[in-house]
Amino acid sequence: MTEEIYRGAHVGDNGRVAEETDKTHESVREEIKEFLIDDAEIGETLDSINFDEIQRIFSEKIQKSIPDSEARAHTISRPDVFLVTPEAFAKVGNPDANPLMSYMPQYDVILVNVLEMRRVASMYNVPIPLLTVKLLMHEQAHAVSSHYDRQSRSGNRVVQIGVQQLHMQREGSSQAIFFNLLNEAINEKLARMVLVEYLKSNPLSGVNHEDIDSIADIYKKPEAALLFFAALHFLEALIAKISAKSHVEPDKVWQGLVHAEMMGLDLKNQKVRGMLDAAVGKQGFTDELSRLNVIDDTEKMVQLMSKYGLIHNFDKFKNAFVRGVLIRRQKKEQV
């Protein structure tokens, strides 16, 4: 079956597939005008962002990930990189039910949880401009990745977003998510790389070198991003394992993962699954990885790392993770 790639897979803002509707991008853009971001500092930060520069950095990162054998035929320029721009940002109506920011690919909209952002910024003493741009880069990384629908052999609808897959029953009443952990980890690492480069030439008010350094080095402030701290460590361990097993430079392995994300590689494909298993050195790895969710499965992630020998900086990770948990718990008790 020919896969039609398009912007806008139907995924709800909580990560679940939304029901089909007659709404268009245009009608949604009109609706969200009623939910303008009313926080002056967040709004001013978003308005001040140099989106042309972000497009340029993303395009360079994506171009670098294209294999040499394909690079000449696939030249990525800045206009080729899709970003969600300020007119498509909306304040979340129910702050308790949403993450800090979330990208809705079916409408190319980014939802901003203003109250939760304020709470987190205060809890971890993170400048609002830095938190705003950091979150935005992660959602933009989702936006620039490949989105498309296809049909599985069983007849179920599959929504592919980067390497993540959402499998829906034909009646649309049930679904399963695969490769969520890997998808989020790749996007977070890419987003951090883009952010650090962006801040070099686009400084933010109240942001110092220490703040930027803690973005580039995940061990500097694990309590402020505990969720992605674990996912990023897993990704680094996976890259190191594949590099050692295949005798390929770690950066080449990383570029391969970025390319997989940008093209929406089907990791459940038997051949691709076998290649990833072989790269790690043990059959069954890809199947177990596919079921891990970045939000709920940190303990299972650690078990997977132990089982398949992903021990890159493991003691450093364990100590920092435990410290981060304790600090986060203390801060919550103080609120």
- Tell me the pLDDT of the chain (335 aa) as tens digits: 222 222 332 223 333 333 444 566 666 666 666 677 788 999 899 999 999 999 999 999 998 998 876 655 666 665 578 888 888 888 886 767 678 899 988 788 899 999 888 988 888 888 899 999 999 999 999 999 988 888 777 777 888 899 999 887 666 555 788 999 999 999 999 999 999 999 988 988 888 877 787 787 777 777 666 678 888 989 999 999 999 999 999 999 999 999 999 989 999 999 999 999 999 999 999 999 999 998 777 888 888 988 998 877 767 777 777 777 777 777 666 65
> For residue 109, is it within any domain?
yes
CA pair distance 18, 109, nearest whole angstrom: 14
> For residue 133, is it within any domain?
yes
Model pLDDT, residue 253? 94
* Token pair of 186 as six digits: 């790749």
Domain containing 322 equals: 25-334
CA pair distance 136, 45, nearest whole angstrom: 11
> For residue 17, is it within any domain?
no
- The pTM for the full model equals 0.85
Q: Which residue has the tokens 């959602």?
A: 139
CA pair distance 81, 88, nearest whole angstrom: 16
* Token pair of 156 as six digits: 């179920």
Model pLDDT, residue 18? 37
Q: At what angle do helices 128-144 and 51-65 cross, to 10 degrees?
A: 50
Model pLDDT, residue 206? 80
CA pair distance 11, 30, nearest whole angstrom: 20
> For residue 216, is it within any domain?
yes
Residue 103 — φ and ψ, nearest 5°? Answer: -95, 130
> Shortest CA distance to 110 belongs to which of 49, 185, 186, 164?
49
Tally of structural domains, the chain: 1
> For residue 20, is it within any domain?
no
> Strand order of the sheet with strand 101-104?
89-91, 109-112, 101-104
> For residue 4, is it within any domain?
no
> For residue 118, is it within any domain?
yes
According to DSSP, the residues that pair with 103 across neighbouring strands are: 110
- What number of other Cβ atoms are within 10 A of residue 209's Cβ? 8
Let me know: does 301 contact 182? Beta carbons within 8 Å. no
CA pair distance 299, 323, nearest whole angstrom: 16
Q: Is residue 237 helix, strand or coil?
A: helix
- What number of other Cβ atoms are within 10 A of residue 318's Cβ? 12
How far apart, in Å, do the first and last CA atoms of the chain sit?
A: 54
Model pLDDT, residue 78? 56
Model pLDDT, residue 24? 62
Model pLDDT, residue 171? 61
> For residue 7, is it within any domain?
no
Q: Is residue 165 helix, strand or coil?
A: strand
Model pLDDT, residue 33? 61
